[in-house]
Amino acid sequence: MKKILLAFDGTHFSEGAFEFARQMNVQSPILLTAAFLPQIDYANVWSYAQATAGPLFIPLIEEEDAALVHKNIARFELLCQNNNIDYRVHKDFTEFALPALKKETRFADLLIVGSESFYENLGINEPNESLKDALHSAECPVLVVPEKFQFPKTNVLTYNGSNDSVFAIKQFAYLFPEFCRNETLLVYSKAEPGEKLPDEEYIEELAGRHFPNLAIMKLQLNPKKYFSSWLLDRRASILVSGAFSRSVFSQMFKKSFITDVITDHKLPVFIAHL
Amino acid sequence: MADGFYEEFEKRFKLSNMKKIIAAIDSLKYSETAVAYAVNLAKQTNAHLVGIFLDDFTYHSYEPFEVVSANENGRKKIRELEKKEKALRSESVKRFEAACASQKIKYSIHHDKNIAIQELLHETVYADLLIIDKKETLTSFTESVPTRFMKDLLSDVQCPVIIISGKYEPIRKAIFLYDGEPSSVHALKMFGYLFPFGKLKMELLSIKSSNHSLEPPNNKMIKEFMKHHFPLAKFTVLTGIAEVEILRQLKKIDPSILVILGAYRRGRVSRWFRESMADVLMKNLQSPLFIAHNK
């Protein structure tokens, strides 16, 4: 049984993240753990800090915030009960958010993050700091979802020859065996034309076995429009990526057409790295 | 509640996540045990087995000495030795194919002719699991365990590894060595994803250094995780020095039990000063070791 982690930073409650978990539970039962972490919004801290040179001090959660957090916890518990989801709530306001999140992800199979800002900033700016930090330090794969999405019926695996991209594909297959039977597209995401695909036989051998319904698309041969139209015909997709370090992450999404696709279609994105 | 739970598990895990197992084979020193293990495991999990024949072009079955000592007949001698070597390599391929045919499993063969360690590490990127004999050296010398090849392999392997010492027994019980570190939990996660564990007995073993509390590190979290992945697992926490106690406990158990650990995540320099637990276990036990790390 999978243990899914939803991380709420203080006062935000992501409907999209909960909805995805709810639909996963319908497919096969999960344990849903909500971690309510202290707010890590540095903008708030800045307005309290007197001097830039001094150490940042994270203020204790304000009164009204504390009430809101409790409201969110109650809401979460009610939603889980109504939907027959096995759940736990972890509350820890004593540590800084990021180390606490890191430890939570160590003991989880998947972290789901609801982030509209991820989609707004993609390709234009880098994803916001706190999301990047979460993606970078998570010790389990992360699934980013928008507030409104369609539960995936097809998979799009992005591959660029790197260890990380294959690792992400393997982790996706292990975590979502129910999705493996869906129609799957393996996209070679190197943009340069005429570049030979690295280890074509190997990736075909591996992916072909995990995803019996597999098609392979080489982007330098098929122009972007084929990919867009492939997606349009199959609306509900999930994108799998191994983007790792901060620089590679933004590179991966800035350079390629995938950026447009994710922003236009608002696809859930599954990210795993070593 | 427990019964319904188990049924659900059995149902779900009949679709095993293990799809591609690779077995590393030194065709000049064919390991019967490793191949038997791989073939039987592929059968048990309905996976595809790839025999990776590490035909490293720099590695020969003969010593340069044999050639040199032949004096004028040097060239002739080389040709003879090479012929013998070729025969030995194709004999290994036949043995592998026969083993696969006897269990009626789906298999394929890769002949990797470049430098063995690099080829094998590359293969692990595209595999779910690697099976290898702990005595592999990929040289014509014998080395004591852990061999240099194994140490290099474990540092950089890109998929979980099962290191074989003795003969094959179906996996019925596993013991998980837990020390609270991320790679330890990672190894358990990987094991859970790859093995349909319906009837598998699982035990968690943790060693604490002081008498503080006889609870494993991050007690609540590991218990929560274990409850949902391995609901009937047993927990054993002892005090002492990890290397000593673990060895003592493992020596008492049946050598067919699979030992799961996260290992080799520290750097090379750190391992000069303190051996990896994996090294200690390879030296002293006949149990198969399941190792995964998330470096």
Single residue among B163, B186, B220 that ends a domain in this structure:
B163
Pick from A109-118, B8-17, B132-141: least confident: B8-17
Indicate if the pLDDT at residue A236 is higher than 60: yes
Q: What phi and psi, each to the nearest 5 degrees, are found at residue B59?
A: -110, 120
pLDDT of residue A35: 82
- Cβ–Cβ under 8 Å, residues A216 and A254: no
Mean pLDDT of A215-233: 67
Amino acid at B34: A
Mean pLDDT of B64-92: 81
Same-domain status, B208 and B136: no
Indicate if the pLDDT at residue A135 is higher than 80: no
Contacts of B144 (CB under 8 A, 6+ apart): B283
**Option in B186, B221, B228 nearest A31 (CB):** B228
Dist CA A145 CA A20 (whole Å): 8
Same-domain status, B158 and B22: yes
Single residue among B144, B163, B182 that ends a domain in this structure:
B163
The confidence band for B205, taking pLDDT boundaries of 50, 70 and 90, is very high
Same-domain status, B155 and B208: no
Q: What is the pLDDT of residues B231-254, one digit of tens each?
A: 889 999 998 888 888 999 999 988
Same-domain status, B143 and B187: no
Q: Higher confidence at residue A156 or residue B212?
A: A156
- The answer for B59, left when phi > 0, alpha when psi is -120 to 50, beta otherwise, is beta
Same-domain status, A114 and A14: yes
**Option in B190, B225, B294 nearest A107 (CB):** B225
Q: 3-state DSSP call for residue A102?
A: helix
Domain annotation covers residue B236 = yes
Asked if A140 reaches chain B (Cβ–Cβ under 8 Å), the answer is yes
Same-domain status, B41 and B145: yes
**Option in B189, B218, B294 nearest A109 (CB):** B189
Same-domain status, A81 and A207: no
Percentages of chain B per state (helix, strand, coil), in multiples of 5: 45, 20, 35
* pTM assigned to the model: 0.80
Pick from A115-119, A146-150, B60-64: least confident: A115-119
Same-domain status, A120 and A36: yes
Contact yes or no for B221 and A107 at CB 8 A: yes
Domain annotation covers residue B197 = yes
Contact pairs from chain A to chain B, CB under 8 Å: 78
Same-domain status, B42 and B143: yes
Same-domain status, A111 and A162: no
pLDDT of residue A162: 84
Indicate if the pLDDT at residue B192 is higher than 70: yes
Domain annotation covers residue B56 = yes
Burial of B264 (0-12, 13-18, 19+ CB in 10 A): buried
Same-domain status, B146 and B243: no
Dist CA B195 CA B199 (whole Å): 11
Same-domain status, B132 and B206: no
Same-domain status, A92 and A32: yes
Same-domain status, A97 and A166: no
Single residue among A98, A113, A145 that ends a domain in this structure:
A145
Residues of A in contact with B182 (CB under 8 A): 106, 139
From the centroid of its chain, how far is CA A202?
26
Same-domain status, B30 and B158: yes
Q: What phi and psi, each to the nearest 5 degrees, are found at residue B7?
A: -60, -45
Residue A238 sits in which domain range? 154-271
How many domains is chain B built from?
2
Of B50, B161, B121, B153, residue with least CA distance to A201: B50
Contact yes or no for B186 and A139 at CB 8 A: yes
pLDDT of residue A257: 52
Q: How far is B294 from chain A (nearest CA, A)?
A: 6
Indicate if the pLDDT at residue B191 is higher than 80: yes
CA distances in angstroms from B70 to B59, B73, B74, B75, B264, listed in the order given: 20, 5, 5, 9, 44
Q: What is the pLDDT of residues A66-97, one digit of tens each?
A: 777 788 889 999 999 999 999 998 876 555 66
Indicate if the pLDDT at residue A199 is higher than 90: no
Same-domain status, B121 and B34: yes
What is the CATH number for B124? 3.40.50.620
Asked if A138 reaches chain B (Cβ–Cβ under 8 Å), the answer is no
Say if the ipTM goes beyond 0.85. no
Single residue among B105, B139, B163 that ends a domain in this structure:
B163
Same-domain status, A183 and A210: yes
Residue B72 sits in which domain range? 18-163
Indicate if the pLDDT at residue B204 is higher than 90: yes
Same-domain status, B124 and B221: no
Domain annotation covers residue B168 = no
From the centroid of its chain, how far is CA A271?
5
pLDDT of residue B175: 94
Pick from A155-169, B90-104, B123-137: least confident: A155-169
How many domains is chain A built from?
2
Mean pLDDT of A7-20: 80
Contact yes or no for A106 and B185 at CB 8 A: yes
Mean pLDDT of B67-81: 76
Indicate if the pLDDT at residue A212 is higher than 50: yes
Asked if A167 reaches chain B (Cβ–Cβ under 8 Å), the answer is yes
